[in-house]
Structure 1
Amino acid sequence: MFEVLTARHIQQMTGGILFQGLGTTKAKGVSIDSRTLKKGNVFIAIVGERLDGHDFITEAVGKGASVLVVSRKVVCPKTAAVIGVQDTTRALGQIAAFHRRCFDAPVIAVTGSAGKTTTKDMIASVLGARFRVLKNVKTENNQYGVPLTILRLNSSHDVLVLELGTNRPGDIERLTQIAGPTIALLTNIGESHLEGLKNKAGVFREKFRLVQGTDPKGYVIFNKDDPWLQKIFKKRIPQRMITYAVREQADYRATRVQLQENRRISFCVGRKDFALPTASAHYVHNALAAIACGRLLGISYKDMIGALRNFSCEHHRQEIRKVRGVLIVDDTYNSNPVSFAGALGTLNSLKASGRKILITADMLELGRESKRLHEAQGRMIARSCVDVAVAVGTHSRYTAQTLRRVNPHIPAFYYPTLDAFHKRLDTLCQRGDIILVKGSRAMRMEGTVGLIEEQLRRRPRGRT
């Protein structure tokens, strides 16, 4: 974070107009949330979908904000300098971009349709063996979270690792301009956020903006198993390319991938043995991305092996817990066709003495492709090792209908709402079963996981 800012500095960074106060007014730190604002901060009045920061100007000044950045006329005490801009969200990015250029630390930017957060966290874990690493908190990967992360960068940090997200054209280009990455990393291309990006070609175009905005003297690291990302070879990019894969030959390739005791995945890279504390084989791609970054920045294989062996995923990302003899796979953070395929692959690979039960809720933000992709989801389940399937939500009716038609031997239950499903939850599982719970963030399927665990714990011991 800037040690000291003045209103004049902020005016110059944003191209704004100083409406009130002196250009010499000093500030330290930037805030967009009046609840957490500290005395002396710059307060940027973000206009969001639900809240407007201009409605909290009085509270911000009362807490000691010394400079306000606004996009409409406000009335406030003369103690604060006021800078007017056309777009306060853009102003936040402009301030962050200026701040980022004050440091020479490598910046690794990660994007893709699935696996971004886990890949970002694995990279940070691997690099943390040698460096002080700053990364996004959880999934702060948008036009607010990325700038705020960058504004936490200071001279004590050696590396910045950023996850960049998008749901409409132009997001990645703007975030890349702010972040100024020296290393671009692309995980995969799939059918996600199609309301804004339309189709896979649109997703690829948007994600490739990261490459186009990365330092020409830098590096582009990508998953060679992904057919869309293989198109990068045909692009005339100035950066050096580094690849990773499980199936294809690549700079970093995993072999002998094995699930051990339903708890961990082992694999080899060259002659080095790695292990991940997860049952999810598709996490190997995330680990390979981290290994590629680690080697690029000089991390030893010994340190990387230790970091990945002790890696801990964020909550609700294929977390596996055993409650009263039932294995629960909580993958409720989000869902799209790519991440669903990975989760289903995990369920297929797990060994069960009882049944394999799938609970899947709507995949959202798929636009006009929603019906087709939920039908494809049904066909995918029909070919799987699932014994019982439950589909929840408006769009998931297509999943259940397709599954019943393609494979009537798999019982498929459909509920239009979570409330309707939760009334039948107590009869769902028994000892020895494995339950995978998956759904988009807005479906809030973590509540279903909580109810399953609560009901299992209430059962008398010994009940099946």
Structure 2
Amino acid sequence: MTIEELYQCFLQCDGVSIDTRNITPNSLFFALKGDNFDANTLAQQALDNGASFVVMDNKKLQSNPDKMFWYADALMALQELAKYHRQQLGLPIIALTGSNGKTTTKELILTVLSQKYQVRGTQGNLNNHIGVPLTLLSFDEDTDIGVVEMGANHLGEISHLCELTDPDFGYITNFGKAHLEGFGSFEGVVKAKGELYDYLENNYKLAFANTDDALQDAKTMTFARYTFGTDEQSDLIIQKYDAQPMASITVDNNVFQSQLTGIYNATNIAAAVAIGNYFKVPLEACRTAISQYLPTNNRSQWIEKNERKILLDAYNANPSSMEAALDNFLQLETQHAKTLFLGDMFELGTESSAEHLAVINRLKNTEKLTTFYIGKHFFEHKTTAQNTFFFEDYDTFAQAFKANPPLEKGLVLIKGSRGMALERILELL
């Protein structure tokens, strides 16, 4: 079966599925393999659960050739189908990557563009070699603009995702210390994320760029771009960035107020407004969209519980995002104490020890602050400093916390890598 023939089957279906536990009725199921599973063994179950067709790469398990289609590689078939579908639709697509803030920026862009267009984008953080094809296949003829988030932890991944997506526009939120284990160094991060710029330049497409970011500014000077920043030569001039009490920007003497915390989110807001402005969304509509957006999924969420105001930012963490979160949190005004729950930062490779120690040193001698460090990477730098507590893992922390919970009211920050799942702390507070 060719991709063109598979595409005709796809058009008969109401979507694509890759998990038999939540099959979409009348869907096209792709039997993917992982380190600990092989969905080829579930092909018949997928049909029983509502899928109309199955794409698989194990001929021995192809018990129903009329509904089970064999390919040498089911994942490659998914990617090729997504690429073909993108070519048939021909709609404008904005690609988005970066070390921090990708998902929040993507959601802000979707919120702004939806004021004028039918837009669709990456659901959650499905931004890898599987998630991007699924996103592309969710676009249809009613989609005016698509927004595709791209993640990577190795060189070459963004380039591959660009080949699938063929973006017309691109934006890199920033270059930071994330996934150093895979990229090798900060220079590796810049090279890997910069693969989006390479694709845009080589294919005569347009980049959105923050001129206040020296790397973005320098790397986009040689090809088409639309800029924003405090520089008066920017296409969208940002008169002011602010984060008190919440992140905002000022454009044309109008304040774009959000419900997001931190100055780093002001830049994300500016990017969304700039992209909206490029696509002729009125600035007043952009301002309304920004004011109405509420963060979710453990990203910069404010939660009030038992006389504590909790900033839950536990979706992910790396040295760059940790530094930004701490800078913002320590600047917040309160009459009461501040408490930090910080979890390990993962995928830092040989830089892990130094980066965790840097966080600890950053917080030394900070007044009115109690800090709980959770995870083996922080634990290896355990100290006996006042109001500082170290736990080798979450279970040890939870047991100790339940036995002697702090009773102070005040501000709380919860920040750590996704694998730490520190949102569980909410149940303890």
Partner of residue 420 from structure 1, selected from 363, 380, 396: 396
CA contact (8 A) 1:27 1:42 kept: no
CA contact (8 A) 1:26 1:66 kept: no
* Structure 2 CA distance for partners of 1:284 and 1:385, relative to 1, 3 Å: farther
Report the more deviating stretch, 382-391 or 268-277. Answer: 382-391
CA contact (8 A) 1:376 1:399 kept: no
The C-alpha deviation readout for 1:187-206, integer Å capped at 9, x for no partner, is 01111112211111111111
Partner of residue 273 from structure 1, selected from 237, 255, 275: 255
Match in the other structure for 2:206: 219
Percent identity over paired residues: 28
2:414 maps to amino acid: V
- Structure 1 portions without partners, runs of 5+: 1-6, 14-22, 453-464
Residue 138 (structure 1) shift: 1.0
Q: Is the partner of 2:35 in helix, strand or coil? A: coil
Matched, 1:104 2:90: yes
Q: Is the partner of 2:312 in helix, strand or coil? A: strand
Task: Name the structure where helix makes up a greater proportion of residues.
Answer: 2
Q: Is the partner of 2:209 in helix, strand or coil? A: strand
Match in the other structure for 2:348: 366
Residue 281 (structure 1) shift: 2.0
Match in the other structure for 1:20: none
The C-alpha deviation readout for 1:341-365, integer Å capped at 9, x for no partner, is 2211221221111111111010001
Q: Is the partner of 2:311 in helix, strand or coil? A: strand
Match in the other structure for 1:458: none
CA contact (8 A) 2:33 2:40 kept: yes
1:164 maps to amino acid: M
CA contact (8 A) 1:224 1:248 kept: no
TM-score by structure 1 length? 0.84
Residue 41 (structure 1) shift: 3.4
Match in the other structure for 1:18: none
Partner of residue 379 from structure 1, selected from 349, 357, 361: 361
Structure 1 CA distance, aligned partners of 2:365 and 2:270? 28
2:426 maps to amino acid: V
Residue 27 (structure 1) shift: 4.6
Match in the other structure for 1:332: 314
Number of residue pairs matched by the alignment: 426
Structure 1 CA distance, aligned partners of 2:232 and 2:97? 21
* Structure 2 CA distance for partners of 1:186 and 1:384, relative to 1, 3 Å: farther
* Structure 2 CA distance for partners of 1:295 and 1:39, relative to 1, 3 Å: closer
Q: Is the partner of 1:138 in helix, strand or coil? A: coil
Q: Is the partner of 2:361 in helix, strand or coil? A: helix
CA contact (8 A) 2:239 2:253 kept: no
CA contact (8 A) 2:132 2:148 kept: yes
Match in the other structure for 2:115: 129
Structure 1 CA distance, aligned partners of 2:291 and 2:372? 34
Aligned residues: CA RMSD: 2.6
Matched, 1:185 2:171: yes
Partner of residue 243 from structure 1, selected from 227, 234, 241: 227
2:216 maps to amino acid: L
CA contact (8 A) 2:207 2:220 kept: no
* Structure 2 CA distance for partners of 1:106 and 1:384, relative to 1, 3 Å: farther
1:414 maps to amino acid: F
Structure 2 CA distance, aligned partners of 1:141 and 1:256? 31
The C-alpha deviation readout for 1:108-138, integer Å capped at 9, x for no partner, is 1110000000000000000010011101111
Matched, 1:356 2:356: no
Residue 31 (structure 1) shift: 2.3
Match in the other structure for 2:215: 228
- Structure 2 portions without partners, runs of 5+: none
* Structure 2 CA distance for partners of 1:246 and 1:346, relative to 1, 3 Å: farther
Q: Is the partner of 2:289 in helix, strand or coil? A: helix
Match in the other structure for 2:302: 320
Residue 398 (structure 1) shift: 4.9
Partner of residue 444 from structure 1, selected from 421, 425, 429: 421
Structure 1 CA distance, aligned partners of 2:93 and 2:337? 46
1:433 maps to amino acid: G
Match in the other structure for 1:55: 41
Structure 2 CA distance, aligned partners of 1:355 and 1:100? 52
Partner of residue 187 from structure 2, selected from 196, 201, 225: 201
Residues 44-123 of structure 1: matches in 2 within 5 Å? 44-63=30-49, 65-78=51-64, 80-123=66-109
Residue 450 (structure 1) shift: 2.4
* Structure 2 CA distance for partners of 1:253 and 1:199, relative to 1, 3 Å: farther
Structure 1 CA distance, aligned partners of 2:337 and 2:231? 30
* Structure 2 CA distance for partners of 1:11 and 1:167, relative to 1, 3 Å: farther
Residue 297 (structure 1) shift: 0.4
* Structure 2 CA distance for partners of 1:350 and 1:24, relative to 1, 3 Å: closer
CA contact (8 A) 2:209 2:220 kept: no
The C-alpha deviation readout for 1:387-415, integer Å capped at 9, x for no partner, is 121111011125655xx7xxx5x632111
Q: Is the partner of 1:356 in helix, strand or coil? A: strand
Matched, 1:144 2:130: yes
Structure 2 CA distance, aligned partners of 1:295 and 1:48? 42
CA contact (8 A) 1:112 1:186 kept: yes
CA contact (8 A) 1:245 1:253 kept: yes
Q: Is the partner of 1:168 in helix, strand or coil? A: coil
CA contact (8 A) 1:378 1:398 kept: no
2:415 maps to amino acid: K
